[in-house]
Amino acid sequence: MNLTPIGWLHTIVGIMALVAGVCVLWQHKRLSYRPRLGQIYLLATVITAASSLTIFNHGGFNVAHGLGILTVLAVLAGVIIEKTVLFKSWNKFFTNLCYSATILFHLLPTTTEIMTRFPPDHPLVSSLKDPLLHKTFLVITAVFLIMLIWQMLWLRNQPNEFNG
């Protein structure tokens, strides 16, 4: 597996983002820019998304590039909503939706890269149209939606201010 320097940066920062994101979710049950790990997650996520625009190469601009752009927009929207009272008592729900979506946006292209590259001598899928890849996306999306519903139900019983 030959990675360019930007590919290494993307991979290392992306792993940092996912580890920080899991830690914040474990500790606080939601993502936020307020705890230090939340800041690390969001910054690493933006760097990962921005760098993905230069390296993801499966035939030109594609869904992965769109997810990179959506990731940056979701982080930006989440920070704006979290810092304001734009949606009043609904802020915590919209902030959570924006930030949690970034986890999904990380996982889909990461899954694509892993399944199209490993094992190196015989990757799990041979193309982006492989049914196994689509079934994997479906499982990831279903798990994401279940966790998002759980977070929203949990948030319903929380005060509007972040307790982190």
Nearest to 136 by CA among 163, 112, 164: 112
- φ/ψ region of 60 (left if φ > 0, alpha if ψ in -120 to 50, else beta) reads left
- Dist. CA 56–CA 65, nearest whole Å: 7
Judge residue 161's burial from the number of C-beta atoms within 10 Å of its C-beta, 0-12 exposed, 13-18 middle, 19 or more buried. exposed
Residue pair 100/31 in contact (Cβ under 8 Å)? The answer is: yes
50, amino acid identity: A
- Dist. CA 98–CA 65, nearest whole Å: 18
Model confidence, pTM: 0.88
- pLDDT truncated to tens, each residue of the chain (164 aa)? 577 888 889 989 999 999 999 999 999 999 999 999 999 999 999 999 999 888 866 567 778 789 999 999 999 999 999 999 888 889 999 999 999 999 999 999 889 888 998 888 999 998 889 999 999 999 999 999 999 999 999 999 987 665 43
Nearest to 79 by CA among 47, 37, 147, 31: 31
Reported residue count of the chain is 164
Count of CA atoms in the C-beta half-sphere (13 A) of 4: 9
Query: What token pair was written down for 22?
Result: 């899991």
Per-domain boundaries in the chain: 5-156
For residue 93, give the H/E element and its range. helix 91-117
- Predicted confidence at residue 163, as pLDDT, reads 41
